[in-house]
A and B are shown apart, each in its own frame.
Chain A
Amino acid sequence: NAGVMQNPRHLVRRRGQEARLRCSPMKGHSHVYWYRQLPEEGLKFMVYLQKENIIDESGMPKERFSAEFPKEGPSILRIQQVVRGDSAAYFCASSPRGFSTSSYEQYFGPGTRLTVT
């Protein structure tokens, strides 16, 4: 059973460009979460998605950031017009169940390290 997959692993963008980060959850997992980790800091929740639905985007900046998890294909975190402050590691995690059911485990992907120059 393959783990959570993320690509690219490293992404360099110039200020003003767009960044697209992809996440494929573990097989059988339909819940996807995105977290951001700034250098030498903890993990901050950004968004929680199920297939074709955004469940909680309370941690997502209001502008320039968007996320989707289509019926087919990976979840995508999109950052438009990147700025230097967007440089961070972006991790996605997946789980087989959501909060409304019994407690669940989240398993993390290897992360995408975004560098904005």
Chain B
Amino acid sequence: GENVEQHPSTLSVQEGDSAVIKCTYSDSASNYFPWYKQELGKRPQLIIDIRSNVGEKKDQRIAVTLNKTAKHFSLHITETQPEDSAVYFCASNTGKLIFGQGTTLQVKP
């Protein structure tokens, strides 16, 4: 079945630095790749997504890139702020969302 690998599992950066989280997927039929942010005890919140006909998408400080040939997609957060600290999940869609294992991002002030 579909598998999504996410790295790193933890990431610590200084405020203002950039953070990059990478995912790979296995099912070439996947056509939609969302990213969710989950704060402790709260629901996953959709922060950005990308579809298979697009290579890159940007929304203010966050951007996502997709390489369909290599089956890689990445989340980039620039100018990180302490409120960006959370667990981030990537996912791929094959009729249901298959999630990566999550990355705990800590932004140090």
Contact = CB atoms under 8 A, between A and B. Distances in A.
Report, as a range, how many residues of chain B touch the other chain.
20 to 34
Interface residues on A, range: 20 to 34
Given A42-B89, A103-B31, A108 B99 contact: no
Contacts, number: 60
Contacts of B100: 42
Interface of B: 1, 31-32, 34, 36, 42-46, 49, 51-52, 89, 93-102
Interface of A: 33, 35, 41-45, 48, 55-56, 58-59, 91, 93, 98-99, 103-111
21 contacts: A35-B97, A42-B99, A42-B100, A43-B44, A43-B89, A44-B99, A45-B96, A48-B95, A99-B94, A99-B96, A103-B31, A103-B32, A103-B51, A105-B49, A106-B34, A106-B46, A106-B97, A108-B44, A110-B42, A110-B43, A111-B43
